[in-house]
Amino acid sequence: MSYGGQTPTVVVLKEGTDTSQGRGQILSNIDACLAVQDTLKPTLGPFGSDVLLVSNGKTTITNDGATILHLLDVIHPAAKILVDVSKSQDAEVGDGTTSVTLLSAEFMKEARQFVEEGMSSNVIIRGYRKACELACKRIKEIEIELKKGGSKEEGDAEFRTLLKKCAKTAMSSKLIQANSEFFAEMVVEAVQCLDPEELDETMIGVKKIAGGSLEESRLVKGVSFKKTFSYAGFEQQPKKIVNAKILCLNVELELKAEKDNAEVRITKVSEYQAIVDAEWKLILQKLDAIVATGATVVLSKLPIGDLATQYFADRGIFCAGRVASDDLERTVAAVGGSVQSTCSDLTPENLGKCGLFEEIQIGKERYNVFEQCPEAQTCTLLLRGGADQVIAEVERSLHDAIMIVKRAIQDNYIVAGGGAIEMELSKYLREYSRQIAGKQQLIIAAYAKALEIIPRQLCENAGLDGTGLINKLRSLHSRGQIWYGLDFAHESVANNLETFVWEPALTKINALQSATEAASLVLGVDETVKSQPNQNTVGSQPVPPPGGRGRGMPAGMPPTQMHMS
């Protein structure tokens, strides 16, 4: 319908809404992602730099990609996709968070030229997905299976050695690189303590204790937690028990002041005394029932008061109240038994067992340690270090190594690291692109070129001649030397399969798929709509319109009236 021969203006979005679309919007999103890539580039590889991040007065020193992106507080909507993809890689595989971010940004960088020339982003996305499919298929063709050979003992020992090599590769770019032999042994032992069916890494507890050197860290094949708050009487309790029987409770063993949690109307003092006597009788019945089970260690999520503490001490029983839920769950997983929520039906079957319980001094703290558990499916890492920031980075490094070892056990196929697999995939995709025609040839070739960002950046961070070494690797891979990658020890190239620079194939496949999906997502967005906050409100209080009731005007008074006091 027209009015007077003119088409009326239709306002769909509210005033102040910002919209931008088209080719310029895609290029803007790519630029934002490249800015994130520039931040992470120097942290890649064995010679990558650490980043010092200060947020709300808290200092973090790390080169873990997911941690850096999390603490950077990225606000650009397109760049946030890179943050999400690094989190995804960290959750699924545990390592390769920096690599996946660099790859996805590099895929966008290579696509930029096609976008500027007017090529449809859907054509680019289709080519990238085809290239990713081919790359993953190639990894499946050349991956090497870690096999257990010989007898069971020999096979287990050999497989353990192979897992240690994977763990050392994961630590090669971390703060603990110099101590990788020590920590690789610890990581493999820790993972092998877990239930082989589930391999739940949350059952590996980590306790950080400031002071001492890194190699004073230790692995407890069981459970260890910081000494809980103790009441009078704890000094008389035993601090070392052999063949301990452990009872885990979710019961409060403490007398409460009547005025805090009860209201009783009484007329005589004797009635008050009867109430107090009844309460004592109840708690003593609970304590007698616990002692009757034969338990020598009593743990509870809830408080254990001074009466119970002294009662247990007189009978040679150790007790700890206010034990953290996750520590108590891991204790049950280590020693057996179950958590009891009542003391009315306790039996010896409810108890867990361990060969040795002791309370030991570590640094300036005391820790309760349960070891020699017959069927332990959990363990605890006690990490030492000179500063809290160092210990926190050691924990992040060990998390990456633990996840890599876990994936290597679940999916025991590996490929060579150090840029070897990226160079092989790049060569393979280049050869494929020459066999096809049209735009897809250019796009797959661009994808192949983008893969070289990993070895190129590794060289740059190590201060090596990237151009010369990349050309040498191209030459070797063209002659069928598929496992040749960078050798930082000799500042040259080497067969990284023989030098034991290994990574799980699953890590590379997941990184390629995640990076390709992230790049496709950003390239597929060609319009952004930013809704401005309501200008007529500040917080939740409406701002009066011009000429309306101002400050000092009572509610309900017309704006033309003045209130005079």
Q: Give me 69's structure tokens.
A: 């992106």
Q: Of residues 90, 95, 327, 400, which has the active-site annotation?
A: 400
Candidates 357, 360, 401; CA nearest to 190 is 401
DSSP line for 494-512: EETTTTT-EEEHHHHHHHH
Is 293 among the residues known to form the active site?
Answer: no
| Distance (Å, whole) CA 137 – CA 144 | 14
> What are the φ and ψ backbone dihedral angles of 350, each rounded to 5 degrees?
-80, -10
Candidates 371, 380, 356, 354; CA nearest to 248 is 354
Which amino acid is located at 10 in the chain? Answer: V
Is 169 among the residues known to form the active site?
Answer: no
Q: How far apart are the first and last CA of the chain?
A: 58
C-alpha distances in angstroms, 215 versus 354, 383, 507? 26, 9, 28
Q: Of residues 98, 378, 507, 516, which has the active-site annotation?
A: 98
DSSP line for 287-341: HHHHHHTT-SEEEESS-B-HHHHHHHHHTT-EEE-S--HHHHHHHHHHH---EES
Q: What single DSSP character describes residue 3?
A: B
Q: Of residues 64, 90, 95, 327, which has the active-site annotation?
A: 64
Element (H, E) at 91: helix 79-92
What is the Cβ-side half-sphere exposure of residue 458, based on CA atoms within 13 angstroms?
24
Is 97 among the residues known to form the active site?
Answer: yes
Q: Give me 285's structure tokens.
A: 């019945």
Q: Give me 30's structure tokens.
A: 């790519």
Q: Of residues 97, 169, 293, 516, which has the active-site annotation?
A: 97
Collapse the DSSP code of 519 into the 3-class scheme (helix H, G, I; strand E, B; otherwise coil) and give the result: helix
Are 478 and 41 contacting, i.e. CB atoms less than 8 angstroms apart?
A: no
Is 101 among the residues known to form the active site?
Answer: no
Give the residue numbers marked as catalytic: 64, 97-98, 400
